[in-house]
């Protein structure tokens, strides 16, 4: 039966089955499109075995090959995990997994002595079971990704104990937020009358604003250690730069990202006059725990670990130092502050309602603008070398299929960013 014939058959079904069929059809269409794009990009990883000549200056062939193999492994992993979750979802729909779970939750409530009037309790048990199911089926994939793929390519810093503790903690924290919020939401829907959807929408809006406000200060510290950046040259320079563009900086933190992986990052958060900057310790050459062995060898003072749980860190001996010099860290921050000064954060929130593809296109424009901003701060040269180092430390692959890249990459390809910086370096 061809596709159009099956569509015809669909229109003759009862409404429930029609919706059911439409959901499945939509989900598989999206899945196949994403898989098609991923295969295009995979072909690039397979066939681009040499550093393209225009990249010769910025990437040695050893790093290029490492990055190529890393991306190939990642793409194999996401092919299989994607196929698994698409099939899992389809089977759950086909075999009535959702109504089954609903009946099961009803039975639990019955045992616990709740009558049928406790629909809200039943919904909560349902939610709890559904999230437990998805956490358990996702666990093997996440274990494989962390301890096989990231480990193989030298990024993983977690022990199995840390990983499991983290997963349990994440589950409990999620439930602590999800269950009270959804029971309130269900209650609002129940008593809301004809305009229940307006109250429900307002409620979710308020909840998400509250969550965004408290996340960085109260939730993220449950999982990672945030320490204020010690007084010193780097902190002073960050404060000077923030002041020069009227960025209301109140605190600079270093987060111990090295406990999870050696991938590096920097970001800022906070409302209005209370902005804070967070630097991953893996971004800072002088501060990264991963450079400890190298620093000790070279007779430099290693970073002190205040807490006793540092034995959980399996500091890897590497032959190369990871992270950026202070000037480069400042250049990366100059780019981040550019996002703030140019109002990108607010613009992103407003247009996040729009299709994600448009967002990708816009977000790339923003990346170029933020780079140009860092350049205006006189940081073109340092940003140039920082981008190269970060790409190297994170084993980013510098070549991509145009269609895949256009659909997925919120950041422009490295080479395009470097070219844009280069053009301006001469100014």
Indicate which residues carry an active-site annotation.
336, 371
For residues 391 and 416, give the distance between their C-alpha atoms in angstroms, rounded to a whole number.
Answer: 13
Cβ nearer to Zn ion, comparing 163 with 368:
368
- Measured from the CB atom, is 223 or 267 closer to Zn ion? 267
Beta bridge partners of 252: 277
**CB of 367 vs Zn ion, minimal distance in Å:** 5
Encoded one letter per residue, x for contact with Zn ion by CB under 5 A and - for no contact, window 177-216 reads ----------------------------------------
Residue 410 beta carbon to Zn ion: minimum distance, rounded to whole angstroms? 9
What is the rounded CA–CA span in Å between residue 396 and residue 410? Answer: 14
- Residue 278 or 294 having the CB closest to Zn ion: 278
- Output the smallest distance, CB 414 to Zn ion, in A: 13
In the complex, minimum distance from the CB of residue 337 to Zn ion, in angstroms, rounded to a whole number: 10
- Give least dist CB 379 to Zn ion, A: 14
199 vs 368, beta carbon nearer Zn ion: 368
How many degrees, rounded to 5, is the angle at CA 250 between CA 248 and CA 252? 115
Nearer to Zn ion, 133 or 368 (CB): 368
* Residues 291 and 264: beta-carbon distance below 8 Å: no
CA 37, chain centre distance (Å): 20
Q: Which of residues 369-398 bind Zn ion (CB under 5 A)?
A: 370
Would you tell me the crossing angle of helices 97-111 and 119-144 to the nearest 10 degrees? 120
- Nearest Cα neighbor of 178 from 209, 136, 207 is 207
- Contacts with Zn ion, 354-373, as mask; x by CB under 5 A: -------------x--x---
Question: Based on CB atoms, which residue is closest to Zn ion, 321 or 347?
Answer: 347
Among residues 24, 160, 145, the alpha carbon closest in space to that of 93 is found at 24
Q: Which helix (H) or strand (E) holds 184?
A: helix 160-191
Give the whole-angstrom CA distance, residue 150 versus residue 145. 6
Output the known binding site for Zn(2+). 335, 339, 367
**How far, in Å, CA of 347 to CA of 363, rounded?**
10
Total chain residues near Zn ion (CB under 5 A): 2
Distance of alpha carbon 364 from alpha carbon 48, whole angstroms: 24
Whole-number CA gyration radius for the chain? 25
Least Å from the CB of residue 56 to Zn ion: 26
Alpha carbon distance 128, 171 (integer Å): 10
Query: Cα–Cα distance between 35 and 16 in angstroms, integer?
Result: 29
Q: What's 114's DSSP letter?
A: -
- Site of interaction with Zn ion (CB under 5 A): 367, 370
């Amino acid at each position: 039966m061809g596709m159009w014939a099956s569509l015809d058959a669909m229109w003759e079904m009862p409404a429930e089955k029609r919706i059911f069929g439409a959901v499945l059809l939509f989900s598989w269409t999206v899945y196949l499109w994403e898989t098609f794009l991923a295969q295009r990009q995979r072909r690039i990883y397979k066939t681009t075995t040499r550093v393209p000549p225009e990249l010769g200056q910025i990437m040695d062939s050893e790093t290029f090959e490492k990055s190529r193999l890393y991306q190939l492994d990642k793409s194999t992993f996401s092919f299989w995990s994607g196929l698994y979750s698409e099939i899992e979802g389809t089977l759950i729909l086909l075999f009535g997994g959702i109504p089954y779970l609903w009946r099961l939750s009803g039975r639990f409530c019955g045992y616990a002595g709740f009558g049928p009037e406790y629909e809200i309790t039943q919904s909560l048990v349902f939610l709890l079971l559904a999230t437990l199911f998805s956490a358990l089926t996702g666990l093997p994939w996440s274990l494989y990704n962390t301890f096989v793929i990231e480990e193989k390519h030298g990024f993983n810093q977690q022990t199995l104990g840390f990983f499991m503790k983290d997963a349990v903690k994440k589950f409990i924290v999620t439930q602590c937020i999800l269950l009270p919020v959804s029971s309130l939401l269900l209650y609002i829907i129940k008593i809301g009358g004809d305009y229940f959807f307006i109250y429900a929408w307002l409620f979710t809006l308020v909840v998400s604003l509250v969550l965004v406000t408290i996340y960085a200060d109260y939730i993220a510290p449950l999982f990672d250690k945030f320490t204020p950046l010690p007084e010193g040259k780097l902190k002073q320079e960050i404060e000077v730069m923030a002041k020069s563009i009227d960025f209301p900086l109140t605190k600079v933190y270093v987060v111990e990202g090295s406990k999870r992986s050696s991938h590096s990052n920097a970001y800022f958060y906070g409302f209005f006059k209370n902005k804070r900057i967070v630097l991953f310790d893996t971004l800072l050459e002088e501060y990264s725990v991963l450079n400890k062995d190298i620093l000790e060898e070279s007779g430099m003072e290693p970073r002190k670990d205040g807490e006793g749980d540092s034995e959980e860190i399996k500091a890897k001996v590497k032959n190369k130092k990871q992270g950026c010099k202070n000037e480069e860290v400042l250049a990366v921050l100059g780019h981040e502050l550019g996002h703030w000064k140019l109002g990108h954060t607010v613009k992103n929130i407003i247009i996040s309602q729009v299709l994600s593809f448009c967002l990708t296109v816009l977000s790339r424009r923003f990346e170029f603008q933020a780079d140009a901003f860092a350049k205006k701060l006189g940081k073109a040269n340092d940003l140039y070398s920082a981008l190269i180092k970060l790409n190297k430390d994170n084993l980013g692959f510098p070549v991509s299929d145009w269609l895949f890249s256009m659909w997925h990459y919120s950041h422009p390809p490295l080479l395009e960013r470097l070219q844009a910086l280069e053009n301006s370096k001469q100014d």
